[in-house]
């Protein structure tokens, strides 16, 4: 590791007192700073971890009230930038993320092939079988909507919080506008796209044991859906109309208009046919006879709606 490179790890702490000491013990010497952000945790997880793992790299940041995991990470980002950190890593304190993969996570950034890296638990098929089915389904759905909202079609597993970012890019993120709770990981991707940042997935398995997730899918499903749609509209406006214009700037509204017109016209035709008890065939065939010198007939069938 180049001595001029300073690596900082940010760990949001909320009800992770049971796992935080073990997580800290696994962080290698490649890390220079460790920020434990206590998001008004009733267990005082950050202080507990710092007291049980005496390490000069550890610093505690406290929130007077619970603001959410996104706000906790942004607090860590701000302090790490003030301390001149080069690479900022977000690591959970519940033991699901193996700190031994930190070198793999920061390597693309060190080599200049990425501005932001994130873990991908779906890369190895063997690891997928260890995941709860509800998480596999939920991540697949969220990944689809995240691709639409962020514009990063090459990334998957958007809720994976094991991430690393170069300080030059982190400085340009409007921390106060980033979603403060569980949507922040997806929101970060949207904002990175507006900065034209390069995002790379890194295969990193997750560890599932006795940890309890604070994320309740039933409570955030609609929130994620509407925020993804909002971010998609913002991204399209920023990239295709405000900052630049291309053929896609005209093709998008035209294609949308034709799609809506076709959908409405097709629905209207179907309803009218149903009322008249008239069966509309899915296709019409028209026979065109072409005589050849052998007097054979060739039939062409044209399909139309």
Chain segment 95-106, per-residue pLDDT in tens = 889 999 999 999
Nearest to 199 by CA among 131, 160, 152: 152
Q: What is the mean pLDDT of the chain?
A: 83
pLDDT tops 50 at residue 154 = yes
Q: Which domain holds residue 136?
A: 7-242
User: CB of 233 within 8 A of CB of 149?
Assistant: no
Distance CA 48, CA 55 (A): 13
The model scores a pTM over 0.85: no
Q: How far is CA 84 from CA 57, 60, 98, 100, 176, in A?
A: 14, 17, 25, 23, 20
Number of folded domains that form the chain: 1
Asked whether residue 290 is assigned to any structural domain, the reply reads no
Per-residue model confidence as pLDDT tens digits over 182-225: 889 999 999 999 999 999 999 988 676 655 555 555 566 777 88
Asked whether residue 65 is assigned to any structural domain, the reply reads yes
Per-residue model confidence as pLDDT tens digits over 226-239: 888 888 888 888 88
pLDDT tops 60 at residue 22 = yes
Per-residue model confidence as pLDDT tens digits over 267-276: 888 888 887 7
pLDDT tops 70 at residue 303 = no
Tell me the CB-side half-sphere exposure of residue 260, using CA atoms within 13 A.
6
Residue 154 belongs to a domain with what CATH number?
3.90.550.10
Asked whether residue 285 is assigned to any structural domain, the reply reads no
Nearest to 164 by CA among 221, 121, 101: 101
Of 1-5, 241-245, 301-305, the least confident: 301-305
Ramachandran region, residue 102 (left: φ > 0; alpha: ψ -120 to 50; beta: rest):
alpha
Which residues, in sequence order, are CB contacts of 11 under 8 Å at separation 6+?
Answer: 20, 23, 34, 35, 36, 37, 46, 49, 76, 90, 91, 92, 93
Asked whether residue 205 is assigned to any structural domain, the reply reads yes
């Amino acid at each position: 590791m180049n001595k001029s490179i300073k690596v900082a790890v940010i760990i949001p702490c909320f009800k992770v007192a049971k796992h935080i000491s073990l997580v800290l013990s696994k962080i290698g010497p490649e890390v220079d700073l460790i920020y434990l952000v206590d998001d008004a945790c009733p267990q005082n997880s950050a202080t507990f971890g710092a007291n049980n793992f005496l390490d000069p790299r550890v610093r505690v940041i406290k929130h007077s009230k619970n603001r959410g995991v996104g706000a906790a990470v942004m607090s860590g980002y701000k302090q790490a930038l003030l301390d001149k950190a080069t690479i900022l890593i977000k690591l959970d304190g519940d033991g699901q993320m193996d700190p031994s993969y930190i070198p793999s996570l920061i390597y693309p950034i060190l080599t200049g092939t990425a501005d932001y890296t994130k873990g991908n638990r779906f890369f190895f098929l063997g690891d997928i079988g260890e995941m709860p089915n509800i998480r596999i389904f939920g991540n697949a759905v969220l990944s689809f909507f995240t691709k639409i909202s962020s514009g990063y079609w090459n990334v998957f597993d958007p809720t994976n919080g094991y991430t690393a970012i170069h300080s030059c890019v982190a400085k340009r993120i409007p921390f106060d506008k980033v979603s403060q709770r569980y949507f922040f990981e997806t929101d970060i991707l949207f904002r990175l796209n507006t900065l034209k940042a390069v995002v790379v997935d890194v295969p990193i398995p997750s560890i599932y044991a006795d940890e309890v997730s604070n994320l309740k899918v039933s409570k955030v499903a609609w929130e994620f859906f509407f925020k993804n749609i909002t971010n998609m509209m913002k991204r399209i406006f920023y990239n295709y109309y405000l900052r630049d214009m291309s053929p896609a700037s005209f093709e998008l509204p035209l294609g949308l208009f034709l799609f809506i017109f076709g959908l409405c016209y097709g629905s209207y035709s179907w309803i009218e046919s149903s009322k008249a008890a008239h069966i509309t065939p899915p296709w019409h065939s028209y026979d065109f006879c072409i005589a050849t010198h052998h007097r054979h007939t060739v039939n062409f069938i044209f399909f139309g709606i």
